[in-house]
A and B are shown apart, each in its own frame.
Chain A
Amino acid sequence: MNAQAISQPRIVEVRQNILKRNDELARELRQRFKDAGVFVVSLVSSPGSGKTAFLEKTLTLLKHRGGRPAALVGDLATDNDATRLARSQAPVRQITTGTLCHLEAAMVEKALEDWNLEELDFLFIENVGNLVCPSSYDLGENRRLVLLSVTEGEDKPLKYPTIFNSSDVAVVTKVDLAEAVEFDWNAAHANIQAVRPGMPVLRVSAKTGQGMDAWLASLAPTGS
């Protein structure tokens, strides 16, 4: 075989997915989540778009309504976000990524090591604040949310089309500030629909609670 390979034409087909290891692991995780009856939602956005506030509100409301949510939170260096989320009384675990700009399936798997998934209805995975790197990595989630705050401007989807395209739902946050910053809803909506036609768009304010009911209602029942 070796002699043949050497003497043969130079190009050999490989066709291997570069992220195959991550993708395989993500598939395994997705199956585990399904078996345990946990609905998994990941959140991506730029830093400062209100992921943690939105998540804290979500966890608190779900707990209040008798749900069993938990969260994993990716952060480059601090555990500030995990501390904030823990106020909701839901189980929260920090994934410190160091210099890595995104979460990978292996980190999620490791963070879940001693958790009993059967005891959960919902798992939220807050990715590192970054609108570029997380887009390529499947984490085994059922739904990926991309957050866009009204203070960031309406053109974020056009600047980061890949992350919007790889997400399932767009969540516009801090809508209580929309008027103050003269947020152009029509432009924002058009930009989201241009890069990801048909994408559902939610409008929320973690501060006032506006839109939170609609968001929680949109979470599919887990069947557990």
Chain B
Amino acid sequence: MHELSIALGILEITEEEVERRGGVHVEGIHLRLGQLSGVVKEALLSAWEVASEQTEFETSRLVIEDVPIAVFCSTCQAERPVQSIQLLCCVECGTPATEVVRGRELLVSALELAE
């Protein structure tokens, strides 16, 4: 359960942004969460409730965008989805994929601000 550490990281980034912009209220925090990020969405949502409690972000909601795994397929010479996280093969031609190009994201992508 390392999602609490992740939630604290989100809190820190949000605090920095708010400090930089000044006088804004954060309604929503948009995240990009890769399928290979090692973070479980449900656990992160619970951890966020704990981490944000009694802070100015207590009412800010997390808006999570899942990022599926994409690889560069050496046979197709193109970016492709994979069969599954348990089978990292090109969905088109079945070539095993060694180059993951998306799916490791663990980002705060945007903030929804209000006056």
Contact = CB atoms under 8 A, between A and B. Distances in A.
Interface stretch (A27-35, A57-65, A159-167, A179-187): A159-167
Given A2-B21, A165-B100, A195-B88, A12 B38 contact: no
A161 B86 CA distance: 6
B30 interface: yes
Contact of A14 (B6, B13, B88): B13
Contacts, number: 113
Given A10-B27, A136-B39, A197-B88, A16 B13 contact: yes
A135 B39 CA distance: 9
B113 A162 contact: no
Nearest to A135: B38
Which one of B38, B87, B109 has the greatest number of beta carbons of chain A within 10 Å? B38
Which size bracket describes the interface of A in this complex? 35 or more
Instruction: Name the prevailing secondary structure of the A interface residues.
Output: mixed
A18 B10 contact: yes
Interface of A: 1-2, 5-7, 10-21, 100-102, 104, 132-133, 135-137, 158, 161-163, 165-166, 193-198
Contacts of A161: 36, 85-86
Contacts of A12: 17, 21, 110-111, 113
B21 A14 contact: no
Contacts of B36: 161-162, 165-166
